[in-house]
Amino acid sequence: ELLGATKRINVNIQDADGLSPLHHAALSGNKELISLLLEAQAAVDIKDHKGMRPLHYAAWQGKTEPMKMLLKTGSSVNGQSEEGQIPLHLSAQHGHYDGSEMLLQHQSNPCISDAAGKTPLDFACEFGRVAVVQLLLSSNMCAAMLEPKPSDPNGVSPLHLAAKNGHIDVIRLLIQAGIDINRQSECGTALHQAALCGKTEVVRLLLDVRVRNTLSQTALDIVNQFTTTQASREIKQLLRDASAAMQVRALKDYCNNYDLTSLNIKAGDIITVHSPHFATIVKYFLMLSYTVIPSFLLWGFCPYLGLLFLFKYMFCGIS
């Protein structure tokens, strides 16, 4: 009634926080109010003191009908707030699947980063919004979203954020989408993050103790330095067990025609020894010269030692 009064009201008047009546209507999801205000020429993209438009508030609340009305009236789907966030950032962060889908259908750009360097995918991964993560990864911009962001000086990826918070299902989706699990940030890989934060199941999934961060620390180094919880003790054991594995590279071809069960190896092949005890013994014997005791003599005396000297003769590249 006031909107139709003889003395016309300023429909775009703002309160102390810069919120207009349309902001409040979008926040509450009141379709009737939104319709009345838009008919009265309310500015659809009016900004509050944080640069937030009514569409930001509707997306934050996951109100699809109000979002549809605002978009139909011409609201900017990629308009950024003072913090650099578009409505899709807020919708993804709060796990609103339908709202996020609507914004993408209206050409929202999921690769836009906010002032902190985070994309909508980053927020969805950080807060464990599995359905929204799946939605974003199914878009035609999936590959671009998984690439390192020049706008983020820390080099943090969606995988780092998911690993830090223990979102195992999100991590599986990211791995399936082809994200680089060894990507480095200033704090190391996602494995470093998971180890530091005590996310045991994530560590099991990402385990790769040969990766080091920019300070040449392994994930085990970080756990030893910063954590003392029960979860960290279990993670320490996982990392110790994995670190006992050893890789060697063949220097030349080897084939035993007299034993059909033996390994046939070509120069350049990499062999991984997983047994912690055997790996330790191999490392010790590889420090010896293989000319001290010819390996063919050892086969008759001790096949195990013979195998070790064969390793010395055939391989290099201990890691």
pLDDT value at residue 68: 97
pLDDT value at residue 294: 41
Domain 9-76 homologous superfamily, CATH: Ankyrin repeat-containing domain (1.25.40.20)
CB 125 within 8 A of CB 162: yes
> What is the architecture, at CATH level 2, of domain 84-198?
Alpha Horseshoe (1.25)
Instruction: Label residue 39 by pLDDT band (50, 70, 90).
Output: very high
pLDDT value at residue 29: 95
Give the residue-averaged pLDDT of 47-75. 97
Q: 300 pLDDT exceeds 50?
A: no
- pLDDT single digits (tens) 204-218: 888 743 444 444 455
Instruction: Label residue 185 by pLDDT band (50, 70, 90).
Output: confident
- pLDDT single digits (tens) 5-17: 546 789 999 999 9
Among 158-162, 220-224, 291-295, whose mean pLDDT is lowest?
A: 291-295
**Distant-in-sequence, close-in-space partners of 280: CB < 8 Å, separation ≥ 6:** 244
Among 25-34, 66-75, 185-194, whose mean pLDDT is lowest?
A: 185-194
Distances (CA, A) of 239 to 106, 180, 188, 210, 294: 46, 20, 15, 10, 36
Instruction: Label residue 196 by pLDDT band (50, 70, 90).
Output: confident
Instruction: Label residue 103 by pLDDT band (50, 70, 90).
Output: very high
Q: Do domains 9-76 and 84-198 have the same CATH topology?
A: yes
**Distant-in-sequence, close-in-space partners of 124: CB < 8 Å, separation ≥ 6:** 92, 93, 95, 132, 133, 136, 158, 170
Q: Which of the two residues, 214 and 192, has the higher pLDDT score? A: 192
Q: Which helix (H) or strand (E) holds 308?
A: helix 303-314
Q: Average model confidence (pLDDT) for the chain?
A: 78
pTM exceeds 0.75, yes or no: no
Give the residue-averaged pLDDT of 288-317. 43
Q: 287 pLDDT exceeds 60?
A: no
Q: How many Å apart are CA 195 and CA 207, to the nearest integer? A: 10
Dihedral (C-alpha) 187, 190, 191, 194: value to the nearest 10 degrees? 90
Q: How many Å apart are CA 80 and CA 76, to the nearest integer? A: 9
Quickly list DSSP for 74-143: T--TT---TTS--HHHHHHHTT-HHHHHHHHHTT--TT---TTS--HHHHHHHTT-HHHHHHHHTSTTHH
- Residue spans of the domains in the chain: they are 9-76, 84-198
Give the residue-averaged pLDDT of 181-195. 88
Q: Which of the two residues, 271 and 143, has the higher pLDDT score? A: 143
- pLDDT single digits (tens) 125-137: 999 999 999 999 9
pLDDT value at residue 292: 39
- pLDDT single digits (tens) 21-31: 999 999 999 99
Among 56-60, 162-166, 269-273, whose mean pLDDT is lowest?
A: 269-273
Task: Please give the structure tokens belonging to residue 21.
Answer: 């009546």
